Amino acid sequence: MKRKSKYNVVVVGVGVVGIEMLRVLRQRNFPVGDLRVLARSTREITVDGEKYSVKAISPEAFDGMDIALFAGTEGEKGAAVIYAPEAVKRGCVVIDNGADFRMDPKVPLVVPEVNAADVKKHKGIIANPNCSTIQMVVALYPIHRRARIKRIVVTTFQSVSGAGQKKVNELWEQSGAFLAKKPIKPVEFPYQIAFNLIPQIDVFMDNGYTKEEMKMVNETRKIMGDDSIKVNATCVRVPVFYAHSESVNIETEKYISANEVRELLLKAPGVRLVDDPMNRSYPMPINAEGKDDTFVGRIRRDDSVKNGISMWVVADNIRKGAALNAIQIAELL
């Protein structure tokens, strides 16, 4: 993309991710010339006191635009499948937050702290990874470079905002009903989510893992550029509004101590080390909400294997896990 003083930007979608994209563009002073906000229908929205006029999406809406940020609908009827090729045809570079293009070998899957150079390989579309994958690879890549990770076992504790605004609303409503001792009738989730855990995110596949879990397996290998890494994931929905937490266990090829991991992560881009458990200092979702960083703590040796390390990783799934990562990609462009 040619360097300009201003870039014409399209944001497609005004759910929780689309709104956060608008917020992050302003907060990071992205050099926006013309800004267009598109969705299925026309409306007016306000984000942090700033009014935006939302227009109905059409192929012509991408004329004259430089960058299109798709907030994350997916599937054959999703905006990205229908309109991303139209945007590219009109000279726009698409950064898509959905899953449609992530595993396409012609489409770079980018986390700027890990594989920024892959942006240059794009042919019009760049994919934004899954939120739970993003925060994990930000924390693990410095270790992989130093000691080469052979195996990852991860359990995620994913907030309801990862499933959209309606799921956030349902947690609010169910929490109120539970505390008032009123009956709870799940609508958006298959089961009660308030004061409960649901060990299923997305549909189950033939191998017994969910689609979300397999995203973590396949995306991690693609982003880190190593298909030999073994990844085992269990993804759980928890009654938290914002920020995903992950219990991550790794086995490395070379020995690396817990202190060496701390030293690496202390200097790693996008990472904030919060690791003083004796003083009850460790990452929590309430501390990560609204923050750009990926928080890492509870770093310790796993003595059950030769070169094992365990850690706890937390990040705002709507911010670093979606909107911020997409706009960091746009900044690279």
Please give the pLDDT value at position 3: 84
Q: Tell me, yes or no, if 92 is annotated catalytic.
A: no
Catalytic residue among 92, 131, 144, 235: 131
Catalytic residue among 92, 122, 144, 244: 244
Strand 230-237 relative to strand 149-158, pairing: parallel
Please give the pLDDT value at position 293: 98
Q: Which DSSP state fits 180?
A: T
**How is the chain split into domains, by residue range?**
7-129+323-332, 133-317
Please give the pLDDT value at position 73: 64
Per-residue pLDDT tens for 166-184? 999 999 999 999 999 999 9
139 pLDDT higher than 80 = yes
Per-residue pLDDT tens for 245-297? 999 999 999 999 999 999 999 999 999 999 999 999 999 999 999 999 999 99
**How far is 3 from 333, CA to CA, in rounded Å?**
9
Q: Tell me, yes or no, if 244 is annotated catalytic.
A: yes
For the chain, what is the total number of helices (H) and then of strands (E)?
9, 13
**How far is 17 from 324, CA to CA, in rounded Å?**
10
SS3 203: coil
Please give the pLDDT value at position 72: 76
Per-residue pLDDT tens for 33-89? 999 999 999 999 999 999 999 999 999 999 999 999 999 765 445 789 999 999 999
SS3 122: coil
Tell me which of 3.40.50.720, 1.10.287.610, 1.20.120.1460, 3.30.300.30 is the CATH number of domain 7-129+323-332: 3.40.50.720
Note the helical H segments in 180-241: 211-224
Domain 133-317 carries which CATH code?
A: 3.30.360.10
Please give the pLDDT value at position 79: 86
Q: What percent of the chain has pLDDT over 70?
A: 98
Please give the pLDDT value at position 39: 94
Please give the pLDDT value at position 114: 98
Per-residue pLDDT tens for 85-127? 999 999 999 999 999 999 999 999 999 999 999 999 999 999 9
Please give the pLDDT value at position 75: 47
Please give the pLDDT value at position 78: 73
